[in-house]
Amino acid sequence: MDGMAGHKSSLSWATNISVVVLVLLWLIPTIGLFVSSFRERDQISASGWWEAPFAVEITARGRTATEATPEGDLFVVTGNIYDDPEAGSFFPNGGGEIVAFGTRGVDPSEFEAGTVADLGDGETLVINPDGSYEYRTPEEPGSRGQRVYFAAASPPAFTLDNYRNVLTADNMDRAFINTLTVTIPATIIPILIAAFAAYALAWMDFPGRGLLIAIVVGLLVVPLQLALVPMLNLHNAIGVGQSFLGIWFAHTAFGMPLAVYLLRNYMVGLPRDIIESAKVDGATDFELFLRIILPLSFPALAAFSIFQFLWTWNDLLVAKVFLPSDDASKVMTVKIADDLLGSRGGDWGILATAAFVSIAVPLVVFFAMQRFLVRGLLAGSVK
Amino acid sequence: MPVILQGIVTILIGVGGCVAYFYLSNLVLDRFIFPAKGEQAGRNINRANAVRPWLFLFPAVFVLGLYLVYPVIGSFIRSLYGREAGDFVGFGNYISLFGSPDFQTAFWNNVLWAVFVPAASTFFGLLAAQLTDKLSWGNIAKSLIFMPMAISFVGASLIWKFLYANDADIGLINAVRDMLGFSDPIDPLQIPFWNNFFLMIILVWIQTGFAMVILSAALRGIPEETIEAAILDGANPFQLFFKIKVPQIMPTIVVVWTTITVLVLKVFDIVYTMTGGNFGTEILPSYMMDFMFRDDGRATAIAFVIMIVVLPVMVWNIVQARKEVR
């Protein structure tokens, strides 16, 4: 909206605000999971992650002590409710201020903290905000103290426990290594194969070149689903079976159309003079490719590697089909989708943390290499 | 870790093997098959140059042929057989598929996906591209909107599952409802029909960045003169956008739209992780996975239906590419 002198200030305000809203909408989901991965399980279910920096009100229960001192015709029990092990177990980080209390489970915050509650039959109970209480009863209390419920603020607590659990107990470390093992060869191997083919399609003249390019473009959109059954059967027939070797082959092949297409588009744009003068100087195609084309194509090579890395790292479908389904060879996506979501459906701390472990590496790669990624995308679709 | 070792060995064999193949095959061609000396030197050089492209192309063509061309035929043939590989049923799989209500749900849901996701992603992408264009912090905004591209579909599903959680103390959607005075939490994933859209939003969230990046480059490529001329003629910003800019980047919009459409027809992860295809949210790719490992005939038939749906886009792409090559 440039150049509109009269409207500029109001319009640019509107633009700024709209972009802020848009960015927030796009960021909030991820932030929610990120914050939650650092929260304790009880806190996650007690309050939304957007309230994480604030104290959480938790309803707890406990019992008063049993030692009573007679005072007139009444027995008086005094103490601090946080000294009761049951009540204390609700607040691993220490209890906060008590807001309300009660003696019935159906109405745990019947009375405001600090007020004297009349429990009937001459019994009274008062629990102060700091946890100290005074319980008066006409009969001598038995071996079990009076049941009390109370609502108290639990201070905000952030913890790395989830990460410790996920990385040690849940076999996620193994899955992380498996993902890495699948990803790195599946990223590196296609590059060289595709680069040679792209060079031939860009700079060598031979009959059928146009047709081959058209086929590569067509193969770009062939749904991967078609390859699953025939290729798995073939892998089984030739003895590769479901294995890392099989998934490397599969990823190499599935990345190939994009690799050839991207690299050819880039190589075709390289200056003709350089290539022709090298040919005049007597360079063979092989030397030309290795010494001139390959170094000049670095941005395209980098772009494709990032694509292929993100795609193989994030893939679920190929891993489910071409890798064995035993625990030792699960990659992270399969682990999360099949194991954690099924068995740990309610444990958001573990789920959020597992998700973050799995998306951390792609995010780092993404932010570090964004320039190349953008350039690669543009080489693929804008002319 | 023996698996890692296996990986490293594979990299070495793979890369070393490629280099060795290309080097040796060129060497053999030039030195032994068509040596550039002797009485036939000139002819040999020409012959060698005619063969060489195919040396360069062979590994890629072999891999493409085996993993992408052969399966199209292989899948089709397999889809003519029943659960057992030897049991020929002709088009029986297709007929029983089209008669099954589950398949119909999956098919029509997929049509919804293929319409809504590209439309919404392109719309938001264009909006974000235009709004961030002249902004001083535009690049930061863009990279934040682009970020979901790096997140796996599984990770994204989990992120949104959390947002949709059926509890006002966990899920943001229900918290907002709670704030607005609706006391009963809802589960967005179980609302008939609309739950499909709640799943599609996840893919829109991921793909908007892609659309934005490409459309923003296209917007920058518009010649300044056309914009200046329109401003001089008194066009307001909205006319400028809809009548000058959008028509000029139409080809790019089409490319973005079709690219996302093709992607939509492949993504099974979101439905698989979020609902497992329950509550009427099945789509073709996830429906296929129900039969994978159990009934190869059905599975390949569904895959082939996906192929047929993608076919028009494929033909269009090829036609466009051929225009460019010429």
What is the nearest CA distance from B36 to chain A, expressed in angstroms? 12
Is residue A179 located within the same domain as residue A104? no
Boundary residue ending a domain (A97, A121, A154): A154
The DSSP secondary structure of A297-360, one letter per residue, reads: THHHHHHHHHHHHHHHHH--HHHHHHS--SGGG--HHHIIIIIIHHHTTT-HHHHHHHHHHHHH
Q: What is the mean pLDDT of residues A262-269?
A: 88
Is residue A149 located within the same domain as residue A294? no
What is the nearest CA distance from B57 to chain A, expressed in angstroms? 4
Contact A185 B163 (CB under 8 A): no
Boundary residue ending a domain (A154, A179, A194): A154
Cβ neighbours of residue A78 under 8 Å, at least 6 residues apart?
A65, A69, A132, A133, A134, A135
Q: Cα(A210)–Cα(B272) distance, rounded to whole angstroms?
A: 39
The band of B128, judged by pLDDT with boundaries at 50, 70 and 90, is very high
Is pLDDT at B71 greater than 60 in this prediction?
Answer: yes
Is pLDDT at A367 greater than 70 in this prediction?
Answer: yes
Task: Return the closest-CA partner of residue B143 out of B93, B210, B204.
Answer: B210
What interface predicted TM-score (ipTM) does this complex get?
0.88
Cβ neighbours of residue A238 under 8 Å, at least 6 residues apart?
none
Question: Which residue would you say has higher pLDDT here, B1 or A355?
Answer: A355
pLDDT attached to residue B116: 94
pLDDT attached to residue A78: 85
Q: Select the residue from B1, B67, B210 to test the A interface by mutation, using most A Cβ atoms within 10 A.
A: B67
Is residue A135 located within the same domain as residue A197? no
Is residue A274 located within the same domain as residue A374? yes
pLDDT cut 70: percent of chain A above it: 94
Is pLDDT at A305 greater than 50 in this prediction?
Answer: yes
Is pLDDT at A57 greater than 90 in this prediction?
Answer: no
pLDDT attached to residue B120: 95
Cβ neighbours of residue A226 under 8 Å, at least 6 residues apart?
B71, B72, B75, B300, B303, B304, B306, B307
* Residues of chain A contacting B78 with CB distance shorter than 8 Å: 229-230
Is residue A26 located within the same domain as residue A109? no
Task: Return the closest-CA partner of residue B322 out of A211, A328, A273.
Answer: A211
CATH of segment(s) B93-325: 1.10.3720.10
Is residue A134 located within the same domain as residue A281? no
Q: Cα(B74)–Cα(B261) distance, rounded to whole angstroms?
A: 25
* Residues of chain A contacting B167 with CB distance shorter than 8 Å: 45
pLDDT attached to residue B62: 93
Q: What is the mean pLDDT of residues B297-309?
A: 91
Q: Residue with structure tokens 């007690």?
A: A46
How do the domains of chain B map onto residue ranges?
2-78, 93-325
Q: Cα(A151)–Cα(A110) distance, rounded to whole angstroms?
A: 10
pLDDT attached to residue A8: 57
Cβ neighbours of residue B45 under 8 Å, at least 6 residues apart?
B34, B36
φ, ψ (nearest 5 deg) of residue B98: -65, -25
Is residue A228 located within the same domain as residue A371? yes
Lowest-confidence pick of A246-250, A356-360, B44-48: B44-48
What is the nearest CA distance from A337 to chain B, expressed in angstroms? 6
Element at B282 (helix H, strand E): none
In eight-state DSSP terms, residue A290 is: I
Range of A92-101, B36-45, B181-190 with top mean pLDDT: B181-190
Is residue A310 located within the same domain as residue A217? yes
Is residue A47 located within the same domain as residue A65? no
From the list B22, B163, B221, which residue is nearest A32 (CB)? B163
The band of A346, judged by pLDDT with boundaries at 50, 70 and 90, is low
Which residue range(s) make up the domain with A292? 163-381
Contact A41, A47 (CB under 8 A): no
- CATH, residue A185: 1.10.3720.10
Q: Cα(B241)–Cα(B108) distance, rounded to whole angstroms?
A: 34
From the list A29, A215, A225, which residue is nearest B163 (CB)? A29
The band of B40, judged by pLDDT with boundaries at 50, 70 and 90, is confident
The band of A1, judged by pLDDT with boundaries at 50, 70 and 90, is very low
Question: Which residue would you say has higher pLDDT here, B31 or A300?
Answer: A300
Number of structural domains (chain A) is 3
Is residue A116 located within the same domain as residue A17? no
Q: What is the mean pLDDT of residues B76-92?
A: 85
Is pLDDT at B206 greater than 90 in this prediction?
Answer: yes
Is pLDDT at A4 greater than 50 in this prediction?
Answer: no
pLDDT cut 90: percent of chain A above it: 10
Is pLDDT at A151 greater than 90 in this prediction?
Answer: no
From the list A205, A223, A310, which residue is nearest B307 (CB)? A223
> The tokens of A289 are what?
């490719």
For residue A76, the cross-strand partners are: A69, A136
User: CB-based burial of residue A295 (10 Å sphere; 0-12 exposed, 13-18 middle, 19+ buried)?
Assistant: exposed
Q: Residue with structure tokens 């070797």?
A: A245
Q: Which residue type, as a one-letter code, is found at position A185?
A: P
User: CB-based burial of residue B267 (10 Å sphere; 0-12 exposed, 13-18 middle, 19+ buried)?
Assistant: buried
Contact B122, B253 (CB under 8 A): yes
Is residue A209 located within the same domain as residue A96? no
Q: What is the mean pLDDT of residues A98-103?
A: 82
Is pLDDT at A45 greater than 70 in this prediction?
Answer: yes
| Average pLDDT score over chain B | 87
Is pLDDT at A381 greater than 60 in this prediction?
Answer: no
Contact A337 B26 (CB under 8 A): no
Contact A212 B145 (CB under 8 A): no
